[in-house]
Amino acid sequence: MPILRVALAQINTTVGDLEGNRSATARAIDEAKRLGAHIVAFPELTITGYPPEDLVLWPSFVERNEMQLEQLAASTEGIVAVVGYVNAGPDGRLYNAAATLFGGQVKDVYHKIHLPNYGVFDERRYFTPGTGCPVLNVAGVRVAVNVCEDIWEDVGPSELQCADGKAEVILNINGSPYWIGKQEWRTRIVTGLAKRNRAFAVYVNQVGGQDELVFDGASIVADPTGHVIAIGPSFEESIFAVDLDSEKVTHVRSSLDHEPESIELREQFGPLREVTIDLDRATAFGEISAPTSETPSDLDCVYRALVTGTRDYVRKTGFEKVAIALSGGIDSTIVAAIAVDALGAENVTGVALPSRYSSEGSVSDAQELASRLGIQLWQLPIEAAHRGIEGLLQPVFENTEPGVAEENTQSRVRGTTMMAIANKFNWLVLTTGNKSEMATGYATIYGDMAGAFAVIKDVPKTLVYELCNYRNTVGPGSPIPQAVIDKPPSAELRPGQLDEDSLPPYEILDRILDRYVVDLKSSDEIVELERALGDRGADEATVRRLTRLIDINEYKRRQAPPGPKITQLAFGRDRRIPIANRYRG
């Protein structure tokens, strides 16, 4: 029986770099040829980069992406390539498409049928659902082609392609963003798809950061019994191949008592079309070894996602260097470590901005961190500017009680200073606020929130500590001083200030945040859940105060810089709550 060699190209594309994406795809096609592959598959919307969002509303953008696809077809002598792009129909409608290229020609175009419109996805804003689906005949093996969400629904075109079209391989191209636990979910989807259709399932995913999204690759191949036979590396570009023996499909399907019913499937996803590829070789050549590495731990994946997201945001926006305000605290410390791992120490500058309230330990901890990371540290005390702002405001603040407004002037002096440095040297400022702070508004708008990219915006405070300990266990070195991990967190905007003066312990805060934002529990429900925890739970006043803080600080979050999504539900694209809004959960 025929054996099909399939190459999976999990590459890092850049949205809008049509020519660059085409060139990267062509290089990967050449590599797949060297691997002896019959067919090579690329991620979703390969040519445009994913997600292109409103760029697809420009007719010139769509036209140029189609021109690049036509040029790419010239690279497909002797190999089949399945490539994602935006296809414009004769009626002007747009389709999220997978093109089958071979022998210098576009042999088939498949239009994605299931269009996701939840979470970070807005595909129904741009695209029209497809009708009909192909089965390719490549080297004697029947291959179903579809796109991403098409296999995430309970029933999709794969079922028709296998039942009616007798497909032995399901080839699914993806732009599937990372979040904690996503790979386990994907594996269940892919293995379930393979098992219920009794076919090989080939799932190829992209790699890299795009604004707030991070793509982790980790492409999967499963056999007809639902057993995983290959897993691509996480957060790394990779081109690898796997041999799929169609005899295994025949054997598994021969044990069936009946053929699956496909009449309803035809009504949903038909018509089915067959596409014959005249590949002049029936066998692959050369030895290959498919990757089967275990999935990294959650902490490893989170850290690598933050590194990937930071690196690609800086590079893809055309910058090289970043500046970080180093306070000697846990948040700026982990941001600095991530930045160095993403960009190299030579491209990261730390800036210490001590005020009259900064402890001696904060400055020395920032110095120690900079020394361990090998980055330059500038020390710019803000006392003169702080006193200047106080003097400026004195006539209108006179006879009022000092409070948060006075405290926040320090943060705003720091924000202005950091933005001036970035402006002068053409750098980006990385902000250091975590998800717990962003949720409750424990951050100064136009102060410590000022910057270009919020590296840990989606990282709860408790996870920040875990990441610091994790980073100290992996090479090179142990960059994070233990003193930073051990000391109580403080904004140091007034004498003796601690975070827990204003907020409950972060273990409690993060738990309530998760229940309110992710699980969509009401305040009343959270109160009951906390009571059930006894002494470990929060009292009713704390629950209601925190949920109100989350609600009323939406306006701050809307003005925060983008940052990489690493949880199932991130502020921003995932959660769109009106700012002018009187509903209280």
The alpha-helical segments, DSSP class H, found in 272-316 are: 298-316
Task: List the catalytic residue out of 107, 112, 248, 316.
Answer: 112
How high is the pLDDT of residue 379? 95
Whether 468 sits among the annotated catalytic residues: the reply is no
Q: Which residues contact 354 (CB under 8 A, 6 or more apart)?
A: 362, 363, 379, 381, 382
Whether 44 sits among the annotated catalytic residues: the reply is yes
CATH class of 298-503+553-558: alpha beta
State which amino acid sits at residue 78: G
Grouping H, G, I as helix, E, B as strand and the rest as coil, residue 265 is: helix
Whether 267 sits among the annotated catalytic residues: the reply is no
How high is the pLDDT of residue 574? 87
The DSSP call for residue 516 is I
Q: Which residues contact 370 (CB under 8 A, 6 or more apart)?
A: 326, 336, 350, 376, 377
Strands 238-245 vs 228-231: parallel, antiparallel or unpaired: unpaired
Task: List the catalytic residue out of 44, 123, 212, 407.
Answer: 44
The DSSP call for residue 233 is P
Cα dihedral 430, 436, 438, 441 sign:
negative
How high is the pLDDT of residue 363? 87
The DSSP call for residue 111 is E
The alpha-helical segments, DSSP class H, found in 317-403 are: 330-343, 360-373, 383-397
Across the range 291-298, mean pLDDT stands at: 82
Can you name the CATH fold of 3-276? Nitrilase/N-carbamoyl-D-aminoacid amidohydrolase (3.60.110)
State which amino acid sits at residue 336: A
How high is the pLDDT of residue 290? 81
The alpha-helical segments, DSSP class H, found in 357-490 are: 360-373, 383-397, 404-425, 435-440, 461-471, 482-486
pLDDT in tens, 425-468: 999 999 999 999 999 999 999 999 999 999 999 999 999 999 99
How far apart (Å, rounded) are the C-alpha atoms in residues 209 and 174? 15
State which amino acid sits at residue 71: Q
Terminal CA-CA length for the chain: 61
Domain boundaries, the chain: 3-276, 298-503+553-558
Residue 204 Cα distances to 12, 84, 175, 218, angstroms: 12, 11, 9, 8
Buried/exposed 489-501: b ≥16 CB within 10 Å, e otherwise:
bbbbbbeeeebee
Across 18-27, 64-73, 112-121, 425-434, least confident range:
112-121
Task: List the catalytic residue out of 66, 107, 133, 148.
Answer: 148
The DSSP call for residue 398 is T
How far apart (Å, rounded) are the C-alpha atoms in residues 181 and 295? 11
- Residue percentage of the chain with pLDDT more than 70: 96
Q: Are the C-beta atoms of 554 and 441 separated by less than 8 Å?
A: no
How high is the pLDDT of residue 22? 97
pLDDT in tens, 48-88: 999 999 999 999 999 999 999 999 999 999 999 999 999 99
10-14, 287-291, 356-360 — most confident range: 10-14
Q: pTM of whole model > 0.75?
A: yes
How high is the pLDDT of residue 498? 64
How high is the pLDDT of residue 356? 84
Per-residue pLDDT at 294 exceeds 80: no
Q: Could you write out the DSSP letters of every residue in 535-575? A: GGSPPHHHHHHHHHHHHHTHHHHHTSPP----SSS-BTTTB
